[in-house]
Amino acid sequence: MSYDVVVGDYYGEQIYRLGDGDTSVRILPGLGFNCLGFETSGVELIYGPPDLSALKERPSGFGIPILFPFPNRIEKGQFTFNGTSVQLDVPDTAPHSIHGFVLNRKWEVFDSGESERGGAWVSGRIRSQDSAEVTRQWPFPFELTATYRLKDGVLMLEIEGTNVGIHKMPAGLGTHPYFPLPMKKNSKRDDCRLKVSADSYWPLREDCIPTGERTEVKGKFDLRSPMSIGRETFDDVWTDVLSKDGWSDCEYEDPSAGTRIRIEADSTFREWVTYAPSDQPVVCFEPYTCTTDAVNLDTREIDGGLVSLAPGESLVGSVRISLLEGTAS
């Protein structure tokens, strides 16, 4: 059997290493159940933190942060749902609440193992009612579980968020994988190519909140065929995704490094965010079940993908990442 699970140390925190031959994945339960690395065939696919201090300082800035019960921003941290008015904390450095409550907290590992059929896996969970800081802001109790699974060189992330309260709960789910841009030091950002399989996007205000319109892709937003990024930057939301066998995808290729990555999401995810800033050597392809500020769009009768979970109901989705051979088509 080629699969294994090894528990090691990362600056005093437990880290789980999932192995599959020359492929390995590293998961840190103590801070967001974040995947800090995914190395295969000698190539590191994930942009991870240099150390634990950097991750603590910016837990949304490395690896694969998990976003729940909402991805991206809620305008001014304010919304009303089923008659309940909510005010979330807003960072001192930004005008809106962002990325939910689970990416910077400790998760509990409740399962791990390896088998020829199941690959190597580790499963974790987090409960909102275990944190007074979360319950103070979010009056909808939830439990979130996630499993990272490494099999046949492919990384799968399976996530399930459950409403454990007695009232309906607004919910959105996302992940935020970071990839180095470019992949290697001798490569050039200008040569790297991006692909997003979606027909439309949500125009955003300057503060990254959707206007509520949906527009057919054109110009730099038309990434249905691979496009060299050049000097372009992105922090935008695509929708009307194109799916095959129930999965939509994005691709990222660094021709000089001979590396092509595919990120796929199942039909639960109806939006993709592409993030490629000018001040960081990264690109992110983020599958979301809803767009930014979906809970406030919903009050305007705009379908932003917000899910209303009944008591005991769950929001379930899967994402997978793989290194491909050849060039994008």
DSSP string covering 96-157: SEESBSSTTS--EEEEEEEETTTEEEEEEEEEGGG-HHHHHH--S-EEEEEEEEEETTEEEE
| Closest to 72 (Cα-Cα) out of 83, 88, 84, 57 | 88
Q: What is the pLDDT of residue 61?
A: 97
Q: What is the pLDDT of residue 316?
A: 98
Question: Which ranges of the chain would DSSP assign to H, the alpha helix?
Answer: 52-57, 132-137, 294-299
pLDDT tens digits for 208-263?
999 999 999 999 999 999 999 999 999 999 999 999 999 999 999 999 999 999 99
pLDDT tens digits for 56-76?
999 999 999 999 999 999 999
Q: What is the pLDDT of residue 266?
A: 98
CB 52 within 8 A of CB 10: yes
Q: What is the pLDDT of residue 328?
A: 45
Q: Residues in the chain with pLDDT < 50? A: 328-329
* DSSP structure class, residue 30: T
Q: What is the pLDDT of residue 326?
A: 58
Q: What is the pLDDT of residue 325?
A: 74
Please list the residues that pair with 150 across neighbouring strands. 120, 155
Taking the whole predicted model, whether its pTM rises above 0.85 is answered as: yes
Q: Enumerate domains of the chain plus CATH numbers.
A: 3-324 (2.70.98.10)
Q: What is the pLDDT of residue 302?
A: 98
Q: How many CB atoms lie within 10 A of CB 214?
A: 19
Q: Which residues contact 283 (CB under 8 A, 6 or more apart)?
A: 178, 179, 181, 192, 194, 229, 234, 252, 274, 275, 276
